[in-house]
Every structure is written in structure tokens, then in C-alpha cells.
Chains A and B, each alone.
Chain A
Amino acid sequence: MGVPELLTSLRELYPPQRLLTTPAQVTPFESDALTAFRARPEAVVLAETQQEVIDTVSLCHREEVPFVARGSGTSLSGGSLPVEGGIVIALNRLNKVIRLDPEQRIAVVEPGVINNHVTRAAAPHGLYYAPDPSSQSVCTIGGNLAFNSGGAHCLKHGMTSNHVLGIRAVLPDGEVVELGGESTEPVGPDWTGMFCGSEGLFGIALEITLRLVPVAETTCTVLAAYDSLQAAGEAVGQIVASGLLPVAMEIMDALAIEAAEASVKPNYPKGVPVLLIVELEGERKVVDTDAARLREVIDASGATEVNVTEQAEERALIWKGRKSAFSAVGWLAPDYIVQDGVVPRSRLGEALGEIDRMSTEAGIRVANVFHAGDGNLHPLILFDGREQDALHDAEELAAEILRLCVRLGGSITGEHGVGIEKRSYLPLMFAEDDMALMRRVRSAVDPGELANRGKMLEPTHAPEPDTGAEDEGPGTSPSAVPSAGAPT
């Protein structure tokens, strides 16, 4: 029982080019977009069929070897960080859109399908897949499902779990289950909803039924400049109070705007301290009426400059700037940490003021770009990992921001998931009985804690792998500093 026996069996299952075991082969899989952590897997299998995934999981169960499923490795919470002594099941080759049914507005896909590719397949029918994490051009549906990914348009459209109707999944012992179906109104407990966002702890989704939505007849994007974050935050409150329901409301501060301009040149208004992006979509008649109302609210809110566009190219450029903001801060500092805590919308101003104070006090620059409509912050904590203690100080500041979010009645994560990064902060949000229940559920589904061990919940079954702090060997530790990783 163990890794050698598992490898022997895997050699029968996979041709050599799809079973990676040498250091040169497995090194690229040591980290995901949370590059502060890395761990070396014993092997990586490149699965091509659902049956191969099922067989691999069954073998891992038989040999009691932990496994981690991985798509494109864009997790910002370390969701696909390998487990020391375990294997990685790479799912990118399970990339078929199995079925697209425009009349029922559903797509059935494999987990390795890239988020954008669902929309690409649906586009000829006037449909698209709504959840739009910033990494949507590379991240996979399997990863989106496991971490209940969000995006800029959650305000109206919701998160990934609101768009997953059915899942065929392999549980951590190899048993295959069917959850949900094709209807938006399932019957019986919402097992599908429970599986979404479980961070890989319940097994691997093999086949996913997604809800598609019609492309709006028209979309109107408004860029409004403000003198302060507080003024922009108040404008968001006034828009909500006006009864409008935008699809997205985003705020970028001067540092984030500067970064975006330096990288993708989105042509934002020049020299403004804060930018608010508001988007409306729907029938032309409705958008025309709502846009006029929105304009009134924004004009009365102290905006210093307002640009409005319904041009697809201009709109694409605005969003390119916004969605590249994470990686763009690489222009400003060699390294950064990004958090995605949530606060109640009406406490945004307070939260931003506090973050500004903490940042000044710590002498660490923080760029802010966030989903204002959802109260979902994205403080980008900038540092230079070559400086002594810089990573540690940045992590301290990040932790303080998370505590602030919980104190204000919010969440430690809006869309990146807990992963390994925020695991120790989960108990800030939940009482011991809540945590105990989550652990009970986890161990009922996966008594051996084989599936994505150590993510979201502290491992109880097996000791934590070496931290690598004492030696130079690979380990699950912040042994490398974060760099401007893939955006989310």
C-alpha cells in the first residue's frame, strides 16, 4: 500500500508521456497562482477520459494516496497546490463541450473546458456563460465549480454555483454519483449546490451541466471619475437606492488605474484618483431609460468626469483594463498578495478608510480594485520579496484586512475560496460547532481525507507535510515569494 504500488498501477493505466514523475516533469505543477506556496507531487497524470479519472481516484483510494485535481492552476488561494506524497490529476485534456442545447439554454461540459470556451461554443446561438472570473481566458470550469468562482458580473448574475445545474462526480473512493440535472428548479436537497465550492474535498466533477443566458440586446458602460474612494463608494450606494440593478459596479483606485494604463492602455480618463465602472444590460428600450436615470444619479453624486459607451470595442477595452489590473500591478512592484474579502456594501467606505490607514501605518502600498456592487474587496498588497521580511509584513497586513472584513460582518473570501491560504482564518467566520460540522461532513464523504487534503480545513487524518522551512527540500511553505500571478 502506498506510492510505489500506486505508480505501478498507474503505469498500466497511462502511457509514459501522460504519467509524469521526473523532477523536470512535475516541477511546473508545484504551484498554482498562489506562488508563495509549493509542494512537489509524486506524480502527475494527464487524464484524457472520465474513466481514467475514475480509475485513478479508485487506485488512490486503494493505495491510500492523496490526490489533487488541477485545471489551469489559476487558483489564488492555493486550491490546486499539490499534497506532499500525493499525486496531481491534471484535467485540462478533458476539454470537450459534450452537448449544447440552445433551446433549453444548457451546456454539458467536461471539467477541463476553459471558461471562455463555453461562451465561444454558445455564442452562435446568442447565448453565453455568465460567470466571468478575470482569468476566464485560461481558467477551467472544473476549477470554477470547485471554488465557486465569481467575477465582475455577479451583482446581477450570481456566482458559479448559480449556473451549475448538474454534476456527474467521482467521490474520493471512486464511486460515481449524479447530482442535480438540467432543470433550474431541482427537487430534493440541493446536492449540486453543496458540491459547488467544496474546494475539491468531495471528489472530482467529471461532467457539468451549465446554465446559459441570452446575450443582452444592448449593454451600456459608464465610466465615472471621483476625487475619493469614499465619494465613489457613496455613488454605489445611491445607485442601489435608486432602484437600478446594474450587472456590474467596479471601483479602481489611482494605483490600480496607473497599473492598468501601464500594461493594457484601456484609455481611462487621465489623472483621476478613482474610477467607477457601472454597466447596464438588457433590451434597448430598458437600457436607454435606465441609463438616463443612472446618469442623473451619477451627475448628482459629485463625479468629476463621466464617459458613456455602448460600443463593443470600447467596452471590451474598459474590461480588459479592469480584468488585467492584478497582473498589471507587476508594473508597480515585483510582488503582490491579493485578498478578496467581502464587507457589507454600506461599510465599503469604512473598510477602505481602514485599509488606507493600515497601509500607511505599515508603510506598504496597497492598490484597490474591487467589485463595489458586491462589497467584494481586492486589496493588492505590493512588496518586493527580495527585501527582508517583506513577504511576512505583507502577509500580516493581508491578515489584518481579513480580520477587518469579518469584523464588519463580511467574509474572508468572496470568490477565490479558502484554499490553503486562508485556511487558518475560516474559524474567524465560523463557530467551533460550525467548523466541527464541516469536518464531519468532509470525513463522512472522504474518511481518508484523500481529496485535496489540507485545503479549506486543517488535515486531521495525516500529519501536515514538512513545511520545508528547516530544509531546502520542496515543501508546502511560503518558500518562494509571490509574483504577479494569473489574475482572477
Chain B
Amino acid sequence: MSVAAGSVEALQAAVRQGPRVLPHGAGTKPALCTPPDDAVALDVSGLSGILEYDPAELTCTALAGTPVAEVSAALAEHGQYLPFDPPLSEAGATLGGVVAAGASGPNAFRHGGVRDFIIGVRFIDGTGRLVSGGGKVVKNAAGFDLAKLMIGSLGRLGVLVQLSFKVFPRPEATTTLRVDLGSTEAALETMAALGLGPIDLDALDFEPPGRLLLRLGGAKETLTARADRLGSLLGAPAERLDDEADVQEWRQAAELSWASTGGTLVKVGLTARRIPGLEAALAQSGARTRYSLGGNLGWLAWPGDRDIAELDGALRSLELAGVALTGSPGRVLLGRIGGGAFATRVRAALDPHARFLEV
């Protein structure tokens, strides 16, 4: 069952009336927005539009159902961008969906993920009240940081209505180096070394077993010299991708097109040190993997014919956490679940009548 609500009041009424609700934007992450039988999908895609954007402020406020692509296009007109590189934006992802999924794209390596750029939120809590947290200015330490809490909240702590972000100037030009280092060990070693500087990379992705993708952004006249210098640090000859090839490479990475195999796409939070363990645990499963943000973010395509419980168990034994974005709905958080009693208590305050699904 689905309820389309074009107004905030209608959404509030739906939350108050029950039964349980699950917000639904553009539906690019079906595992997170397909409700179980006893719940209703709340279609928030009608709440769309940029409310405030002043390039001089480096901030932007928009309704939660606004497509990311629309925001990116408006920012690009002024040479600015969302530095957390929201994934699946060409597929139609909305701002609210990106925040609720807590997902950043590969170019977030340079300046940080979605949690580093959200500055304010307005949402409907489990009592149906419209509430705000944070603000619209880039620096703010007043009140509890409810805006950050909504990162990764999976539509289960509130119905997002409006979001404010910091934005940054967009790199004037970009170029990419692609290098195959032959083994996971060599790739991880190079990745760790690059993480210590001196070159500021916009993106640093690892494709097992041994391939690294590195992106540089900045003033056009600096790129060739920087790419040459970066190339000299890699220990193997790198292929350089420019212009359309560079854009295409990262578009595909942000759209996760390599993973559209009909199975389940899972985001895993980790560090590079944990990659060999995860790779070993998945070796027999047929899962494909790719790692972004210098190894802080793992993307995993779990085969459609294998039970997701198997992955849940593997992540649990590695003490890692994952979230399923596509595939059949049901259990979405996999592996280790954090927050403990703090999570239980905060949830009870936000959703005292259990109008939202359990996290």
C-alpha cells in the first residue's frame, strides 16, 4: 500500500493515523523503501524543489524529495557541487533518500561524506510533529545534532521534509589515473601510502584484486604536472583518463553500474585494514566488491541466488556493519549493529508509538 502526500500536513496526518509508515522517494534503493505488509509506503517525492541557494553562502536548502541531479545542476551553474558525491543520482536518487541511506559517493574522498556536509534538517517525528534541528549556516553548535542523526536513519527515525547542506566550489577540471598493481597487498600498501599525502586526491577507489583508480581535481593548468607526480608514486605504469573517459569512469562508479547484477547491493563501512579479511570471507560466495574513499567504504554485490543471512553472518563475525540498498526488502542492516541502549532510548523519544519500522 502506498500513500502519496504532496503536502507536509498530509504526511503528518499519515504518520499520526498509522499503521506503520516507511518513506519512499524515487525508489532507487528498493530494499530501504519497500514496506512490509503491515506498513504503508509514504511517497514523499512530491515534496520537491530547491528553497534557498545563494552561491556566496556556500549553502543550499531543498525539500527532501528533490532529485539530487536537480540540486547538482543548480550548483554547477555557479561552479559549485555537493562534495559528498551522492550515489545513484542519475538513477533519480532524492536528497532525502541519500541522507536516509547515509551513502556517499567516490569523490567524497577529498572533503568528506554526507555526514560532513549536512547542516540542518526538518522532519516529521513519530508523533506527527514537524520538527527542526541544526540550521542553515555552515557553523552551528546549538542544540542536539538531529541533522547528523538522520544520516543513515533509513526512514526509521523520522520522515525527512527539508534538508540544508554546505556546498563547496567544484574542481575546475579533473583527471584520472588507473593502475593495476597485481595484488591486493600491493594495492592496499599503495593506498595507505597515498593517504598520508602529499597529493590531495578527489577519489581513491580500489577494485580487487589489484586495481586502483585515482582522481585529481583542481585548476586545469596544474593537472598534468600533478598527474605525472602521482604516477611516479604508484610503482607501476598508470593509464590516464581525461575528459569524457574521466567523467564516464566516475559516473559509473557513483551509479554503481558494475553492481547491477540482479542481486543485492550492500554498503559496508570499514577501513582498508579490514579489506583482506572481508575478501577472504567472501571468496567462495561469488560476491563482487569495490572499495571507495581509500577503503572506508565497501560496495558489495551479493548474488541473487544466495541467502543474505550468509552475508549477515560473515559481517557479524568480522564485526563489520553493512546496509542493503537493493534486492528484496526485509532485513536491511547486516552484521554488527551499533548504538546499544543509546539508540534504543533516542528512538523511543523520536518514535514513542512505533510508527516507523525498527532500525
**Chain A residues close to B by CB (< 8 Å):** 101-106, 125-127, 147-150, 154-156, 158-159, 161-162, 169, 171, 175, 177-191, 193-198, 202, 214-217, 237, 240-241, 243-245, 282-283, 285-286, 289-290, 293, 342-346, 371, 374-376, 409-418, 422, 426, 429-431, 433-434, 436-438, 440-441, 443-445, 456
Contacts and interface: CB of A to CB of B under 8 A. Distances in A.
B349 A148 contact: no
A215 B198 CA distance: 8
* B137, B142, B154 interface centre (most CB from chain A within 10 Å): B142
B137 A346 contact: no
Contact of A289 (B196, B222, B340): B222
B196 A127 contact: yes
A214 B129 contact: no
B321 interface: yes
Contact of A105 (B79, B156, B195, B359): B195
A285 B225 contact: yes
A289 B171 CA distance: 13
A191 B341 contact: no
A185 B108 CA distance: 10
Given A189-B154, A243-B79, A418-B143, A445 B267 contact: no
Nearest to B147: A193
Given A105-B195, A147-B141, A441 B346 contact: yes
B136 interface: yes
Interface in B170-220: 170, 172, 192, 195-200, 218-219
Given A105-B195, A175-B340, A418-B143, A193 B148 contact: yes
* B138, B154, B226 interface centre (most CB from chain A within 10 Å): B138
B140 interface: yes
Contact of B137 (A171, A190, A410): A410
5 contacts: A188-B323, A283-B200, A285-B226, A429-B142, A438-B144
Nearest to A374: B139
Contacts of B72: none
Contact of A125 (B196, B198, B218, B226): B196
B146 to A, nearest CB: 7
Contacts, number: 289
Contacts of B55: 241
A191 B149 contact: yes
Interface in B284-332: 293, 296-297, 321-323
Given A161-B148, A441-B346, 12 more contacts: A162-B112, A177-B341, A186-B269, A191-B343, A193-B149, A194-B145, A283-B198, A415-B141, A426-B143, A434-B131, A440-B350, A443-B349
Contacts of B152: 186-190
B137 to A, nearest CB: 5
Interface in B247-286: 267-273
B102 A414 contact: no
B139 A437 contact: no
A52 B111 CA distance: 38
Contacts of B151: 186, 189-190, 193
Given A214-B198, A283-B200, A185 B297 contact: yes
Contacts of A343: 137
Interface in B119-170: 125, 129-133, 135-146, 148-154, 156-157, 168-170
A172 to B, nearest CB: 10
B9 interface: no
B137 A189 contact: no
Nearest to A195: B342
Contacts of A413: 140-142
A126 B270 contact: no
In the complex, which range does the number of interface residues on chain B fall in? 35 or more
B139 A178 contact: no
Contacts of A186: 102, 115, 151-152, 269, 321, 338
Interface in B54-70: 54-59
Nearest to A185: B297
B269 A187 contact: yes
* B102, B267, B268 interface centre (most CB from chain A within 10 Å): B102
A181 B139 CA distance: 24
Interface string B216-259: 00110110011001000000000000000000000000000000
Contact of A418 (B104, B115, B142, B297): B142
B345 interface: yes
Contact of A237 (B56, B139, B154): B56
A187 B342 contact: no
Contacts of B133: 434
B113 A437 contact: no
Given A125-B196, A191-B149, A193-B148, A441 B350 contact: yes
Given A197-B144, A345-B57, A429 B135 contact: yes
Contacts of A125: 196
Nearest to A422: B142
Given A181-B269, A216-B197, A154 B139 contact: yes
B135 A410 contact: yes
Contact of B143 (A243, A345, A429): A429
B91 interface: no
B271 A182 contact: yes
Contacts of B169: 240, 243-245
B337 interface: yes
Contacts of B138: 154-155, 342, 345, 374-375
B323 A289 contact: no
